[in-house]
Amino acid sequence: MKIFFVVFSFMCALTLNAQEVQKDFTKTLLSEDFENVSEKWPQIFNADNVFLTQNSHYELLRNSKKSGYYLLPKISDEFSNFEVTTSFIFESKGNAKQSAGILIMAQKSGNGAILVEINRKKEFSIRKIYTDRTVNITSGEDGWEKNSNISKENNEIVIKTYKKVYDVYINGQFVKSFSEIEFARGSIGLYIGPDSKATFDFLKIKGEEKADVLQTEVTNEKNEDESFAQIIIKLKDQLNAKIKESEELRVKLKNCNISEGSSAGTDTASMRIRKNLEASNNKLQLEKDDIMLRLAKVIAEKEKLEKFKNEIQANQQDGDIIINLTNLVNSQKIKISDLETKNTSLNEESNSLFLETKDLNEKLKKARTDLDSKIVKNLFLERDLDSLRRQVKALSDTLNRLQKGTVVQETLTEEEKLNQLIEKERLERVKRKEDEEKKKKEGE
């Protein structure tokens, strides 16, 4: 019978130095080549993100420099024991700190997952991701470890996990093994780092054959106990190693103090060595305290699980607990599916509104350009109209003067009078021109 239990987020992850997962996964659970992902994976186009399918690839562009972005399928299954493989290419001319990777064990609550990430500086990191914090599993500065096998462009990540132990491979080479008992199962997704562009080629997930799964279910309770026992043993081994190292440092520190006393405190090299030993000893003490705390938490959690399993076994006859839990899980799955459908609809509506807004902005820009052109044209027309008005006024003034100084036949029409006025003006201009030419000749 399956045992349902809850493991709290403070449980520890232990890193190991050799490959631990010897299980072969032969059954294909998912083979995604990104040929037709519009119904499976998010298609987003906005100022911060451009996630699109092109040429049988999934292109992810994250413009925001503040944080990365996690992508899960619209309908995501949960996996426990599996092998997942993905391949992606970095934008060769982009930010030198670009990063991308794969997300596993993502919890339905949205709080909890494991991220395996690669950057273009030939570094990788493994982290536990929560809504309010991250916990580094890898060592190094900010959890990044150098690895010469990582490429600045094309990389492949393979993760194998069985009984809560994980092996990580990059470009065919084993790089890290660790155990993590907090997450029993979870979804698998992709990750694109801040100010990064990567193109994913495929995502493949393999699992156990049906017979293996049945055998796992039969021995599930035993395996959980074994997992806790292994964690406790490893923590105790680490604790003993730290205690031994601390004792060795204390002996060295004591010898250093004796040596320093004999030299009357004048040997600065001895003082420096003593300070280094004291710092190392303090660090070891903190590490030892941390291991003891984690060990106590693991033991306490194991006791809680034992109590929970005993309660289930005590009520197993009527099966009410299992039925209620199953109904609750199914109900939550339906709610989650409804929320995912609504979220998809909202994303599509948001994309549609974005495109409509973009189209309206382009039309508004064109309308403004046309309006500016018409305003300029209108200014020219106003100027020409003012000029014509001034000419009409001048002609009208001339006509009035002529009417006062000349007797005009009453039988003439207004048009004839205007023609006479225009002709007279022409004759005067001709006369003035002749006078000017005559003066020029006389001057010569």
Tell whether 122 is covered by a domain: yes
Domain check: are 187 and 257 in the same one? no
What global pTM score does this model have? Answer: 0.51
Question: Based on the domain organization, do 203 and 99 belong to the same domain?
Answer: yes
67, pLDDT greater than 60: yes
125 domain residue, yes or no:
yes
With cut-offs at 50, 70 and 90, classify the pLDDT of residue 186. very high
The rounded distance, in Å, linking the Cα atoms of 334 and 400 is: 96
Task: Report CA 95 to chain centroid distance, whole Å.
Answer: 14
42 and 178 inside one domain? yes
Residues 173 and 239 in one domain: no
pLDDT-based confidence at residue 318 (cuts at 50, 70, 90): low
User: Could you say which of 299, 314, 329 is where a domain stops?
Assistant: 314
- The pLDDT of residue 333: 78
**For residue 263, pLDDT beyond 70:** no
How many domains in the chain?
3
Section 337-363 average pLDDT: 79
What single DSSP character describes residue 186?
B
- Shared domain for 186 and 283, answered yes or no, is no
Asked if pLDDT for residue 10 goes beyond 50, the answer is: no
Rounded CA separation 313/321 (Å): 10
Range 41-64 average pLDDT:
91
pLDDT at 258: 64
Q: Is residue 319 part of a domain?
A: no
Mean pLDDT of 124-138: 93
Q: What is the mean pLDDT of the chain?
A: 80
User: Mean pLDDT lowest for which of 91-95, 100-104, 118-122, 172-176?
Assistant: 91-95
Listed residues 184, 218, 252: the one ending a domain: 218
Question: Are residues 17 and 140 part of one domain?
Answer: yes
Identify the band that residue 223 occupies on the pLDDT scale cut at 50, 70 and 90.
Answer: low
> What is the structure's pLDDT at 401?
80
Which pLDDT band, with edges at 50, 70 and 90, does 214 fall under? very low
**Residue 98 maps to a domain:** yes
> Are residues 258 and 200 located together in one domain of the fold?
no
In the block, residue with structure tokens 């309660």: 311
Determine how many CB atoms are found less than 10 A away from the CB of residue 102: 23
pLDDT score of 114: 97
Least confident of 140-154, 166-180, 297-311, 351-365: 297-311
Residue 14 pLDDT > 70: no
The CATH number for 247's domain is 1.20.58
Task: Give domain status of residue 321, yes or no.
Answer: no
Q: What is the mean pLDDT of residues 107-115?
A: 92
Same domain (yes/no): 31, 104: yes
Domain hosting 397: range is: 387-443
Q: 33-43: per-residue pLDDT in tens?
A: 888 766 788 88
State the Cα–Cα distance between residues 127 and 335, nearest whole angstrom: 29
Q: Which has the minimum average pLDDT: 103-112, 138-147, 211-220, 423-432? A: 211-220
Measured in degrees and rounded to the nearest 5, phi and psi for residue 411 equal -80, -15
Please tell me whether residues 303 and 412 are part of one structural domain: no
Q: Out of 314, 348, 372, pick the residue that ends a domain.
A: 314
299: exposed, middle or buried (Cβ count in 10 Å: 0-12, 13-18, 19+):
middle
- DSSP-derived secondary structure for 100-154: EEEEEEE-TTSS-EEEEEEETTTEEEEEEE-SS-EEE-S-SGGG-EE-TT--SSE
Predicted confidence at residue 390, as pLDDT, reads 84
Rounded to an integer, what distance in angstroms lies between the CA atom of residue 315 and that of residue 308?
A: 11
Distance between CA atoms of residues 298 and 112, nearest Å: 19
149 plus 245 within the same structural domain: no
Q: What is the pLDDT of residue 46?
A: 92
Report the amino acid identity of residue 355.
L
Per residue in 273-310, pLDDT (tens digit) is: 767 777 777 777 777 677 777 777 777 777 777 776 66
Contact (CB, 8 A) for 30 and 73:
no
Q: How many CB atoms lie within 10 A of CB 192?
A: 25
> 214 and 112 in one domain?
yes
**What is the band of 218 on the pLDDT scale with cuts at 50, 70, 90?**
very low
Alpha-carbon distance of 247 to 114, in angstroms, equals: 36
Q: Are residues 159 and 105 in the same domain?
A: yes
Q: Which amino acid is at 58?
A: Y
